[in-house]
Amino acid sequence: MKKTLFAIFSLFLTACNDNVVKTIDTAELLANLDNPDYIIIDSRNDSLYNGFKEKHASRGGHIKGAIQFRCNWFERIEADKFDSFAEAKGISKQKTLVIYDSNSDESACISAEFNAKGYKVRTFSDFISYANAGYPLDSFPHFQYSVSPEWLYALMQGEQPETYHNDQFMLFEVSWGTLEKAKAYTQHIVGAYHFDTDWVEGEAPVYNLANPQQIEQNLLQHGITKDKTIVLYSDNPLAAYRVFWALKWAGVEDVRVLNGNLATWMDAGFPTETKVNLPLPETEFGTTIPANPQINISQPEQAYARQQRGLKLVSTRAWEEFIGEVSGDEHIQATGEPQGAIWGFSGTAPSNVADFYDPDDTLRNPKEIVALWQSQHIQQGDQLAFYCGTGWRASVPWFMTQLLGWQNTAVYDGGWNAWQMTKLPVQKGVPNDVVKPDAKNDAGRMLKKGNSCRS
C-alpha cells in the first residue's frame, strides 16, 4: 500500500513540479555510462546488485558504475543528514540521477523521494532487456555468500534457488548461550535451529577459536558436516559473520549469511515461530578440521611475526579504541593497538561496525568499503589480517573481502585482547596526528546492540 501511494505521489509530482521525472532509454543510458554528471542508482536489493539474477534475466549484477540507494533508507536517514549522506555517495542536485529497478513501485518510490528533495531524476525501466543484451554489468566474484530473504524462503520451500547445488541444508539463528539463555531464539525463522557461539569459541579471557576436536564434536552433535549447506542469521549480524568465518575455517564448503537480521526477514513478509527445533546429530564431518587454517591467525606472536614479513594488521575497533582513549571492553585492561596497525573503519562502540552497514542494517556496498580502505592504503593483493577486541567485529570486513574474491586475507583472532597480555610493541594516540577518516556513512543513527552478543 505504501509503495502504491509513492507511485501515485510520483504522478502528482510530474503534474505539478517543474522538475519532472522523465525516462531514459537504453541508447541514452549507454551514452552516459562514463559521464560524471550522471549518477546511476540501483534501488534493488543487495543480492541482485551483488550478482544474483533477476527473473527472466540471463545475467546478474548491476549496471557498470551504478551505486546503491534503496527507498526504505529515506525513513531511516535523519532529515538534517540526508544531503550530506547522499553527497558522500556522489549524489548531488547538480547531477542527473538515473534510477533503475525491476520493481516499478520501488522505482516510483525512490524517484518521488529524490524529486521532492529537488534532485534531477530520470528513470530507466528496461534493466532485464539491458542484462540480456550483453551490455556492461558488474558483479562480485562470490556474491552467493550473502543471500536475501527471498532466496532463503525459496530454499525452505524446497526449490533450487540460484547457486544452490545441494540436497541438504540447515538454517541456524546464531547467538551466544544455550537455548535457555538465547534471547534471540525466542522468536525465529520457521525451521531454524539455534547455534551457540560457544560451540566454536574457547574459554576466557581470550575467546579464540576452541581446539579443533572440540569444535568437530560440537558441530557433529548439531548436525553440521562439511557437505551440507549452512545458512546463518543473527539479531546482531556480528554473530553470524563470526560463525561464517569459523565454519569456513573448519571446512564447511557452502556457508551463506542472510543479509540483515530477523527484522529484515519479517519486513519481507516471511513467517516466524517460537517452537524449539533440535537437529539430528551426525557421525562424520567429512574432512580434518581445520581445512582452511590460512584464514586464521590465532596468537599475537604469530601476527607480529607475519607483520614483520609484510602483513598489514587492520583494526576494526572504534576510533576511540584505536587511538587509546578507551579499552573498549570491561574485560580488557590496557588501551592501545599493536604497533603499526592501520585503522580499517568500524562503528560507534564495541558492539557494532556501523561503518559497514546501510541504514536498513544490511551490508554496505563493498565498493564503498574498498574506497575507504584505499584511503588507508589497504589494497587488493595486500596480505591483510583484520582484528578487533576478541574477533567478532573483524569477521564483517573479512566477509566483505570474500564477497570481493580477495586472496590472502585472514582474521587475527586474538585481537587487541590477546596482544595486550604480551610484551609485544604497542602504539597509542593518533598515528602521525591524522584526523579521523570519514566513513561517509552518517545517517544520524546508531545500530542497536541486539541479542546475539556474549553478555
Domain boundaries, the chain: 22-139, 144-290, 294-427
Position 349 scores a pLDDT of 80
Please say whether the beta carbons of 190 and 273 come within 8 A: yes
In DSSP terms, 249 is beta-bridged to none
- What tens digit of pLDDT does each residue of 440-450 get? 999 996 554 45
Question: What predicted TM-score, i.e. pTM, was given to this entire model?
Answer: 0.94
Does the pLDDT of residue 355 top 90, yes or no? yes
Residue 455 reports pLDDT greater than 80: no
**6 falls in which pLDDT band (50, 70, 90)?**
very low
Cα maximum dimension of the chain:
70
Binning the chain into helix, strand and coil, the percentages to the nearest 5 are 35, 15, 50
Nearest CA among 218, 193, 56, 195 for reference residue 130: 56
Q: List phi, psi (to 5°) of 50.
A: -70, -35
Do the domains 144-290 and 294-427 sit in the same CATH topology, yes or no?
A: yes
CB 361 within 8 A of CB 260: yes
pLDDT at 436 over 80: yes
Look up residue 356 and give its DSSP letter: G
Which fold does the domain 144-290 belong to in CATH?
A: Oxidized Rhodanese; domain 1 (3.40.250)
Mean model confidence pLDDT for the chain: 93
Pick the CATH number of 22-139 from 3.40.250.10, 3.60.10.10, 3.40.1160.10, 3.40.50.720: 3.40.250.10
**CA–CA distance from 2 to each of 9, 55, 71, 264, 330 (Å)?**
10, 24, 11, 17, 45
The confidence score (pLDDT) of residue 247 equals 98
- Poorest-pLDDT segment among 14-28, 249-263, 373-387: 14-28
Helices and strands in the chain, H and E counts:
15, 21
368 has pLDDT over 60: yes
Half-sphere exposure of 326 (CA within 13 A, CB side): 13
Residue 15: the pLDDT is: 40
For 294-427, CATH gives: 3.40.250.10
Radius of gyration in angstroms for the set of CA atoms belonging to the chain, rounded to a whole number: 23
Q: What does the DSSP 8-state code read for residue 199?
A: G
Quote the pLDDT of residue 232: 98
Contact by Cβ (8 Å): 362, 46: yes
Give the span between the Cα atoms of 172 and 181, in whole angstroms. Answer: 16
Amino acid at the residue 137: L
Characterise 110 by phi-psi region: left (phi > 0), alpha (psi -120 to 50), beta (else).
alpha
